[in-house]
A and B are shown apart, each in its own frame.
Chain A
Amino acid sequence: MTKKQIIRREIFYFISGLFVLLAGLEIIWPNIVLAYFNLNWLAVLWFLAGLYILIKR
């Protein structure tokens, strides 16, 4: 696996982890994340990152 592939994969993992973290914070304290940031944008980013990895494969 090349360095680029590793970076792409790790970015995808990072976005996945961040989504889980922020969604968790939102479940524990409702509105605390959504007031500042719409998680839909992160979900779109996560989807695009995953799609990019699949295409590159």
Chain B
Amino acid sequence: MRKLFLTKWPFLFKLRLFFALSALIIGLIFLYLKIVPGGQISYSKSWPGGLRSGKGFIYDFKPAERMSAASEFLKIVADPVYFSLFTPRRFDEAVLTIRYRDRLGTTTPLFEAGVLKDKLTGHYELRPLQNDVIDDLRFRWPRLEDSAALLILQAERNYDSADAFFSDLQAGQLRDCPGGPTACVAVYNYPLTFDYRLPDYAPLKPLKIEQPLRGPHQFYLYLKDESWRLSLDFSDLNQDKEQDPISVQVRGAGGVIAHETLGDNNPTPDNGRVEEKRLVLSGQSQPTGVYKVSVDISSDVVIARIISSSDKLSFLNKIWPVSGTGSLTLFTDAAYLEASTLNPASLGVITFAGRDQELSQTGQPFVFSAPAGVKELILRADDIRLANNGVLAFSRDSLFNPGFKKLDRYLSTTTSVRYVVADYQQPIYDEGWKTATARFSLGDADRENGRYSFLLSIPGLNGSADAPHYLEIKEIEVSLQGKTLGRRLLDLFKSLWQ
């Protein structure tokens, strides 16, 4: 064969064979990179960027005004910043590693990363990269547990083992905790559950909320061992070009107890004509306890009316009242309120805990603080987005909060918090740079045109290009893990066989 190649084959044929094989090899390399047969691959982006021919896999950092071009690194000056990760195929898990340094103040103790889970509601699943509050407490409070996936800190040495702590927690009788577990335990990135009971619960009374609420909402319902019913009326405003499906899910301690969806078959979803829709969920007697209702809709849909068989109904973390008939009174248990609006007509005075506060600018979040306890909130106009780390309700009687306090930038550990439970690893310090890692499940993440959407969040950071507080990123690396080619083929054959 070698002799044949050297002597008999014409020069042109040999040349073309060489080029054809070269093209084939280049094509196969790209095919290999597309399929990723081993199921594992890493992509990275570093600053300052060197000479690079391709577009890369991590790109599209936006919005530009939240970053400063004055630095050779990626300098984040305002929260949040989004970026896209292109992947040639689907993966199951991503490990995001960020090398950075920060000059953040005491009002911005958190640095988190998130991946878009639901494009409709804009829900990002957040994971911690840095939490200065925990990093500080870790050296001031005794550590009850400090493992890879669980950190328990206690203000006093009340417990010697995590088992004894969790046992007392489930019994609702933590030591040094007179207000009950939800009053003295703060959690961060940890799914801590607790069988909450309302001590003075009266039999169910129906509740009707006529105040329209725009966009996705979540609320707690307290149900006793009785049949229940939840009716939601929706108004699809049809102002944007996207379809507006509706999904309502009721979840208890044992899992989902009811789930209803309503598709959007409107061929012209931006025709401006309001469509009225209704979803009714009901069930027979459920175990007494707290149920979380998730209303997953886009901001083009308004919850026009809620009728519930239970009058214990509290909105979780945020509420967006719109199109009401004047002033509105709400109640909340959080020590602060973040209010923002895009509507100039909604600017004005908000009365929070008896004090008048000025909402003076559109597009800018205003934070008002107040003492602990249940507080009244009076709005003169609606179309204001309200958010905090507690619950909000339309009456004092409806308000109840079965959740633990979240260890965020507003929580003061000098108050009633006696324990901190977290799944958090401190960043690693090395030559002036920090390295933090976050792990994401991509199985149910939103992937559009081959791209996952990520965000980098520093809550409270709201500066300009020359602001004194910022965070600089030197490198972002994403390690992806998914099914191998063999496994995918096996799954394919299995599905064909079945």
List of B residues within 8 angstroms of A18 by Cβ: 23, 26
**C-beta contact mask, B211-253 vs A, less than 8 Å → 1, else 0?**
0000000000000000000000000000000000000000000
Size of the A side of the interface (Cβ < 8 Å), in residues, is 23
Give chain A's interface secondary structure class.
helix
| Size class of the contact patch on chain B | 20 to 34
Q: Are B19 and A37 in contact, CB atoms less than 8 angstroms apart?
A: no
Q: Given A17-B23, A25-B30, A29-B88, are A35 and B57 also a contact pair (CB < 8 Å)? A: yes
Contact of B450 among A14, A21, A30 (CB under 8 A): A30
Interface-located stretch among B9-17, B259-267, B319-327, B391-399: B9-17
Q: Given A18-B26, A29-B88, are A36 and B33 also a contact pair (CB < 8 Å)? A: yes
Judge whether B53 is part of the interface by a CB distance below 8 angstroms.
Answer: yes
* Complex Cα–Cα for A10 and B33 (A): 28
Distance in Å: Cβ of A31 to nearest Cβ of chain B: 5
List of B residues within 8 angstroms of A30 by Cβ: 449-450
Chain B residues numbered 6-64 whose CB sits less than 8 Å from any CB in chain A: 11-12, 15-16, 19, 22-23, 26-27, 30-31, 33-34, 53-57
Q: Are A35 and B11 in contact, CB atoms less than 8 angstroms apart?
A: no
Give chain B's interface secondary structure class.
helix
Q: Given A6-B11, A10-B15, A10-B16, are A38 and B55 also a contact pair (CB < 8 Å)? A: yes
B16 nearest CB neighbor, chain A only:
A10
Judge whether A34 is part of the interface by a CB distance below 8 angstroms.
Answer: yes
Judge whether B86 is part of the interface by a CB distance below 8 angstroms.
Answer: yes
List of B residues within 8 angstroms of A49 by Cβ: none
List of A residues within 8 angstroms of B55 by Cβ: 31, 34-35, 38
Distance in Å: Cβ of B60 to nearest Cβ of chain A: 12
Q: Are B54 and A35 in contact, CB atoms less than 8 angstroms apart?
A: yes
* Complex Cα–Cα for A22 and B29 (A): 11
* Complex Cα–Cα for A38 and B450 (A): 18
Q: Are B56 and A14 in contact, CB atoms less than 8 angstroms apart?
A: no
CB-CB nearest 8 A-B residue pairs: A14-B19, A36-B54, A34-B55, A32-B34, A38-B53, A37-B54, A10-B15, A37-B53
15 A-B pairs within 8 Å (CB atoms) are namely A3-B11, A6-B12, A7-B15, A10-B16, A14-B22, A17-B19, A18-B26, A25-B30, A25-B31, A25-B34, A30-B449, A30-B450, A34-B54, A34-B55, A36-B53
A residues touching B (Cβ–Cβ < 8 Å)? Answer: 3, 6-7, 10-11, 13-14, 17-18, 21-22, 25, 29-38, 41
B residues touching A (Cβ–Cβ < 8 Å)? Answer: 11-12, 15-16, 19, 22-23, 26-27, 30-31, 33-34, 53-57, 86, 88, 449-450
